[in-house]
Amino acid sequence: MSHDFIKETKMPVIVRGKYLFIPIFLALLGFTYAVFLPEVGVESDKSRIAFHKGVQLHSDYKYSTSIDYFLESLSYEPDFTLARRMLGQSLYYSGQVDEALNEWKILLEQQTYDPSLQIHLHNLRTFQAATEPKWQFLRVIKGGTGYQYAFPTFITVLPNNNLVLLSQGQGKKDNGNVLVISSNGVFTQNLRRISGKIGLPVGAAFDGKYLWITDATNDKLHRLAVEFKILGTPEYKGLDAIGKSGSEPGQFHGPMGICFNGENIFVADQGNNRIQKLDKQGKFVQEIKVINQDMSVNQPFGIACDLNNIYVSEPNLSRVVQFDIFGNFIKFIGEGLLGRPRHLSLYEKYLIIADELNGVYLLETNKEEITNIKEYMNEDGKLQSFYRPYSAQMDSLGNIFVVDYGGHSLIQFVPEQFLYSNLEVWVERVYDKDFPNIGVWVSVKDQRGKYLTDLDSDNFTLYENDTDVGRLGTEYLKSFSNQASWVVVNSKSLTMEKYADSLPWVADFFLNKLREKDQVEVMSYTNASRNDGNWTNSRLKIQQLLKAKSNNDYKSENIDGLGKTLYGAITELLPRKGKRAVVWITDGNIEIENMSDFTLTRIENYAKINHVPVFIISFENPDISNMKRKKVQLKEFAEKTGGKYFGSFDNNLVSLENLLRNIVEERYTLTYQSHGKKSWKGQYMEIKVNVKFQGRNGMETSGYFIE
């Protein structure tokens, strides 16, 4: 591992003003482990030396060895609380979750004050999101200087949880606005050059590359290219227009809502009383105009779609119409309940309806259960109703954003339980080899256990020995987003012999576009584990390694080396940067219950905790007994690690390379310059990381020794 990574990172200067910390944060800042370091004495010296070595090994990903040293430290000083905390950390990151929980439970039973550890225990053991969440008002997101908006019409959420807000603007001479809001809820961009070309923006949809915006005044669809840069804010450029006024295919008369289902674009063409289905290039495919022999689509406004259904709002008839993906009528939704439904959106199990008269409805599509947000307690503690809500969207963090057209406002709601629980922060390692330059590996989870992946330096504050270090960089790991490290784990069981010649063909699904900085390693197993070659980016070399045969290969169904090989493959990836993953090629003949030293549960924990997904390619031999049961077990294992299960002849195997390339980095490296001095050699420096995001806090503690 390079020892000069911090020197590669440009650390922005953060000017810190006065902060008003909530009482929870003040309490968190007050706890410390530094005072619990052993006092002077023979046993204490031995304990401190062992602890020091354990910290170094943990930082170098050598968790199993660090466990031995923390245990040794505790054997000399059983009440050494920091050693027990770090023992739990090493157990946790080695995949031994239950053992880690037991150590942390002992620590808290000793009346150690550690709020962040209590959060870890709570979330790992007992936390479950509410099955029927209630949303609470959080704030109104107001436009400031340069970001004013009036009569907002629509809000959409991009993959990085940025928001794009459309607004009508003031008066006839004022073009509509297109504004961008960061995942932190702060206005970051006013797309004035684009806004000036759009008359009345009403709806928007993102197709993975382009943001499509309907223009009700000019009867057009505007297509805006969105480039998600590795560093910095996304770029919006290359605006072009599709369509013109008229009633022919591909022409529009007042286009309103728009949606994208992964295959096609659907537009609510209000003035023409129809839905137009377009391909990804904007070319006409189909018209949906008839509901049944007695009814036609009536002035549609909002539209939402997935791979199976299309939902269309008809404000004048106070209902939503559900079609299948081919335009066949299924049913009406909300008759007798809805007042004047406007925009619609889909997120996970919810169809979200913004009703101009009755607030926001969240319909659980599987249960037909409806939640209504009609009024809320505002910032002044007064009960407030919406004026004319036009659009409502949910992001991946569980927030609901409501566009109130009549109230000229964008309102954010959060699940009620989020107001009473903190973020979960993990300090995964501290890199001190370039002291006084320090790197702290951090990950942050929200209250549902999902990683927050779009934070920046403004979300973090880091204290070293209770002193704000003041300068932080957060972009180091993101700079490796264009390179990948994969370990291919290959079964050499007797059953796999018949597929040996197919391995190069199967591997080509993810090897045929290897880049210069990509690195792949091959490991195999039978009754033992074997490393077949060093890291390489040679496609030919990798294919040769997959076909290579040693004396014990293809002679037995004994695969005792499987657990050790998978665990070793993940271990090989721990210090590497970029997109990391294990690709496991198997015949699927796995008796999970018989795995002992390295159980599949431990390997699953090890992979998930260390952000290494496992993708399985299985030849699914039909002659294998209980293949269906084994397939289900392997599929669950892959998905829990963040990976996916593929049959070797599945059509969707072509998507594997794209999945490997688009693995999201879930960690941050906070880089800063320590206030310590080299003359303080042997001094333990305590680190506290505080995270603030959308009004919520989290904190974690760790540390390092000055070498």
* pLDDT tens-digit readout, 69-122: 999 999 999 989 999 999 999 999 999 999 999 999 898 888 777 878 888 887
If you average pLDDT over residues 411-437, what whole number do you get?
86
User: What is the pLDDT confidence band of residue 238, given thresholds at 50, 70 and 90?
Assistant: confident
Mean pLDDT of the chain: 87
If you average pLDDT over residues 383-387, what whole number do you get?
94
Residue 417's pLDDT is 66
Residue 74 maps to a domain: no
Q: What is the dihedral of CA 655, 661, 667, 668, to 10 degrees?
A: -150
Residue 625 has pLDDT above 60, yes or no: yes
Beta-sheet pairing, 484-491 with 579-586:
parallel
Beta strand spans in 562-618 (E): 579-586, 614-618
* pLDDT tens-digit series, residues 525-544: 988 888 888 999 999 999 99
* % of the chain beyond a pLDDT of 70: 90
If you average pLDDT over residues 172-181, what whole number do you get?
79
| Amino acid symbol at 198 | I
Residue 379 maps to a domain: no
Task: Extract the tokens encoding 334.
Answer: 């909300």
CB distance 320 to 268 below 8 Å = no
* % of the chain beyond a pLDDT of 90: 61
CB distance 611 to 629 below 8 Å = no
Residue 608 has pLDDT above 80, yes or no: yes
CA gap 64, 75 in Å, rounded: 17
CA gap 580, 487 in Å, rounded: 8
User: What is the pLDDT confidence band of residue 620, given thresholds at 50, 70 and 90?
Assistant: confident
CB distance 186 to 147 below 8 Å = no
Residue 106 maps to a domain: no
Residue 125's pLDDT is 66
Residue 129 has pLDDT above 50, yes or no: no
Residue 24's pLDDT is 38
* pLDDT tens-digit series, residues 470-490: 889 988 888 898 999 999 999
CB distance 304 to 345 below 8 Å = yes
Residue 604 maps to which CATH number?
A: 3.40.50.410
Specify the residue for token string 């629509």: 154
Residue 345 has pLDDT above 90, yes or no: yes
Q: Domain count for the chain, please give it.
A: 2
User: What is the pLDDT confidence band of residue 222, given thresholds at 50, 70 and 90?
Assistant: very high
Domain termination site, one of 299, 325, 346: 346
Do both 322 and 173 map to the same domain? yes
If you average pLDDT over residues 437-452, what whole number do you get?
91
Residue 521's pLDDT is 97
Q: Which residue has the higher pLDDT, 418 or 379?
A: 379
Beta strand spans in 279-318 (E): 284-288, 290-292, 295-296, 303-305, 309-314
What is the number of helices (H) and of strands (E) in the chain? 14, 41
Measured in degrees and rounded to the nearest 5, phi and psi for residue 473 equal -115, 145
Q: Is 353 helix (H, G, I), strand (E, B) or coil?
A: strand
Do both 185 and 329 map to the same domain? yes
CA gap 90, 67 in Å, rounded: 6
Residue 532's pLDDT is 87
Residue 9's pLDDT is 37
Task: Extract the tokens encoding 384.
Answer: 């407030």
CA gap 193, 190 in Å, rounded: 9
Residue 437 maps to a domain: no
Burial 308-344 (b: 16+ CB within 10 A, else e): ebbbbbbbebbbbbebebebeeeebbbeebbebbbbb
Residue 291 maps to which CATH number?
A: 2.120.10.30
If you average pLDDT over residues 414-425, what whole number do you get?
76
| Amino acid symbol at 27 | A
Q: Which residue has the higher pLDDT, 594 or 413?
A: 413
Residue 8's pLDDT is 37
CA gap 409, 385 in Å, rounded: 12
- Give start and end residues of each alpha helix (H) in 379-520: 503-511
CA gap 360, 313 in Å, rounded: 13
Residue 231 has pLDDT above 70, yes or no: no
Residue 28 has pLDDT above 70, yes or no: no
Residue 36 maps to a domain: no
Cis peptide bond prior to 152, omega within 30° of 0: no
Residue 145 has pLDDT above 90, yes or no: no
Domain termination site, one of 346, 365, 381: 346
Strand partners, 444: 425
CA gap 255, 200 in Å, rounded: 10
Domain termination site, one of 318, 346, 374: 346
Residue 532 maps to a domain: yes
The winner for highest mean pLDDT among 14-28, 119-133, 144-158, 219-233 is 144-158
Domain extent for 600: 482-661
Residue 232's pLDDT is 59
Residue 31 maps to a domain: no
Closest alpha carbon to 443 in 461, 429, 462: 429
Q: Which residue has the higher pLDDT, 404 or 547?
A: 404
Residue 497 maps to a domain: yes
Residue 494 has pLDDT above 80, yes or no: yes
Residue 122's pLDDT is 77
User: What is the pLDDT confidence band of residue 666, given thresholds at 50, 70 and 90?
Assistant: very high
Residue 13's pLDDT is 32
CB distance 346 to 367 below 8 Å = no
